Structure 1
Amino acid sequence: MYIALISLIIFVCLLLALVVLAQNPKGGGLSSQFGAGGTAQLMGVKRTGDLLERLTWGFAIALMVLSLGTQMVSHTSGDSAPVRSVNQQRALETRVPATTPAPAPATPAPSTPAPAPATPAQ
């Protein structure tokens, strides 16, 4: 599902780029060079501009919705742990020192026997 959404996002991005390149605020743009010259005469320049503007808004909104959808799909998938950034992984790996020191044992257990005092030779 995630791969399908990503491929759909790429397709919408390409369509959005083509629609943005095809329009011009003055009404000319590349639309007449891509075979839309006949439709501009048939529908009028104003109607073609409206169509391109609506397509631009539609593709932009679809891009935002699909992007949010990929975020929701990645969090609801059956992964054991969510995908984290490098900084989040490092923050989780570092150990924070305890704020209160651990209580010292009442009687320390000797780990090695104490050496016997040496007697001086006479």
Structure 2
Amino acid sequence: MYTAIIVLILFVCLLLALVVLAQNSKGGGLSSNFAAGGTAQLMGVKRTGDLLERLTWGFAIALIVLALGSHVVLNDQSGGPLRSVNQQKAMETRVPATPAAPAPQAPAPGATAPGAATPQTAPAAAPAQQPAPSPAQ
């Protein structure tokens, strides 16, 4: 069913393009080339313009209805709402549940508790450096 609607949409698009190109524009349009073919001779110029305008509106409305219908048919065939590729991958990929946090343990002697500020002390092994004497002038 979806394929049939898509084929109809393509057919309506083709007919709409032909009707729009055949309309008489300010510059003459393609309808002046087809005038010798018979439509203007058969119905007159005014009635030909009215017919082409009505066909344009009809094909445009048919195109909108078919596009909305294709969405409904595709939605029914898939069994649920349509999702983008990113949404589908996000639904397929499940984040593992986070394990329960372990109970806090008492810190080892001499260790600081997590999050506690550590005092800034100079390392004991580093020798104190004295500034180099400046040359006397």
Report TM bin, short chain: 0.5 to 0.7
Mapped contact 2:24–2:32 kept (Cα < 8 A): no
Alignment of 1:20-99 (within 5 A): 20-26=20-26, 28-34=28-34, 37-77=37-77, 79=78, 83-95=82-94
**Against the structure 1 CA distance between its residues 2 and 81, is the aligned structure 2 distance closer, same or farther, given a 3 Å change threshold?**
same
**CA RMSD between the two structures:** 3.2
Greater displacement, 59-68 / 20-29 = 20-29
- C-alpha separation between the residues in 2 aligned to 1:47 and 1:80? 48
More helix by share: 1
Show CA shifts across 1:34-71 (max 9, x none): 36653213322111111001000100000000000000
The equivalent of 2:128 in structure 1 is none
The alpha-carbon deviation at position 88 of structure 1 amounts to 1.4
Paired letter, 2:15: L
1:72-117 deviations in Å (ceiling 9; x for gaps): 001112x35655322212332455687xx764466xxxxxxxxxxx
Q: Paired residue for 1:112?
A: none
Q: Using structure 1 for the length normalisation, give the TM-score.
A: 0.67
Secondary structure of the structure 2 residue equivalent to 1:71: helix
Question: Partners in 2 of 1:80 and 1:49 — Cα distance?
Answer: 46
Secondary structure of 1:48's match? helix
Question: Which amino acid in the other structure matches residue 14 of structure 1?
Answer: L
* Bigger relative contact order (CA 8 A; separation at least 6): 1
| Structure-2 separation of matches of 1:94 and 1:39 | 61
Q: Which 10-residue stretch deviates more, 80-89 or 58-67? A: 80-89
Structure label with greater radius of gyration: 2
Counterparts of 2:54 and 2:27 in 1: how far apart (Å)?
15
Q: Distance in 1 between matches of 2:53 and 2:95?
A: 54
- Distance, in Å, in 1 between the alignment partners of 2:36 and 2:75 is 43
When the two structures are aligned, how many residues end up with a matched partner? 105
Counterpart AA for 2:30: L
Q: Any unmatched runs of 5+ in structure 1?
A: 107-122
State TM-score, norm by structure 2.
Answer: 0.61
Identity %: 76
Tell me the SS of whatever aligns to 1:29.
coil
